[in-house]
Structure 1
Amino acid sequence: MGGFSIWHWLVVLLVVVLIFGTKKLRNIGTDLGGAVKGFKDGMREGGEDAADGKAPTATAQVANKSGDADGKTIDIDAKEKH
């Protein structure tokens, strides 16, 4: 019951290719690579903000609580600028 040999892995790879096909596997690889790249870029941008001493900025919208029942939202950042 030891580890798997190279032949076991080749059979598993053959079964996966037969089930999904090469095009689907290529698309999965491309999507996975794009996700990893996006994660690394996000981590790099987050590190630059921390190095600058600035907190990451996010635009938030909240419901207008000034008594208006129209349900409109306002931009907090825009309201603070005035």
Structure 2
Amino acid sequence: MGSFSLMHWMIVLAVVLLLFGAGKLPSVMGDLAKGMKTFKAGLKDEKETEQPPLLKDAG
């Protein structure tokens, strides 16, 4: 499973265009971008709410 050639990406693009149509593609990509932003914001919020572990004195 190495890198894909230009021909592979052309075939993927053609299949996506056939499934969604050229008019719907921008809205699909916009929804995908919104989902990614929401996911990243959720990860950021989760990291901020986590408490660091308490360290005990050895002495």
Report the TM-score when normalising by structure 2. 0.57
Higher-Rg member (1/2): 1
Structure number with higher helix proportion: 2
Query: How many matched pairs?
Result: 51
Which structure 2 residue ranges, 5 or more long, are not aligned? 54-59
Aligned-CA RMSD value: 2.8
Task: Give secondary structure in 2 for the equivalent of 1:22.
Answer: coil
Runs of 4+ in 1 over 4 A off after TM superposition: none
Structure number with higher strand proportion: 1
Deviation at 1:8, TM superposition (A): 4.7
The share of aligned pairs that are identical, in percent, is 39
Q: Pairwise mapping of residues 1-82 of structure 1 onto structure 2 (< 5 A)?
A: 5-51=5-51
Report the TM-score when normalising by structure 1. 0.45
Which structure 1 residue ranges, 5 or more long, are not aligned? 54-82
